[in-house]
Amino acid sequence: MWLRWVLCEAAQTAKRSPQFAPAFQRIAKRRGKKIATTAVARKLATRAWHLLTDAEHAAARNPPRHAPPRPKQRRDNPPEGSHGPRASSKICLSRPRRARRTD
């Protein structure tokens, strides 16, 4: 149900584009604007389906080339722009801990 709503919202804009306007006007004259908007939404869904399936077939024919692995950084050499761990995350060893009161 939500998919139909999304497609109809997209059709509100698409019906003004030169690719869909003639079909929208033709259907709206015969059947009404709401039905014509739903028809444009269906045309959008069909076009999206074909774009996605054609992309899948193209990807199957031409598998992507894998990028070479990135070099690992050494632990003693932090990345550029890094200033090491934050001061708040360090444990302060200069002060002894307070003893708890046991009353």
Assess if residue 41 is contained within a domain: yes
For the segment 79-99, what is each residue's pLDDT rounded down to a tens digit?
Answer: 666 555 555 555 555 666 666
pTM higher than the cut 0.85: no
Assess if residue 99 is contained within a domain: no
Assess if residue 103 is contained within a domain: no
Q: How many residues are given for the chain?
A: 103
| Nearest C-alpha neighbor of 4 from the set 41, 53, 59 | 41
Count of domains forming the chain: 1
Q: Give the contacts of 7 (CB within 8 A, at least 6 positions apart).
A: 41, 42, 44, 45
| Per-residue pLDDT tens listing for the chain (103 residues) | 788 899 999 999 999 999 999 999 999 999 999 999 999 999 999 999 998 888 777 777 766 677 667 777 666 665 666 555 555 555 555 666 666 777 6
Assess if residue 87 is contained within a domain: no
CA dist., res. 68 & res. 70, Å (int) = 6
The parent domain of residue 41 ranges over 2-61
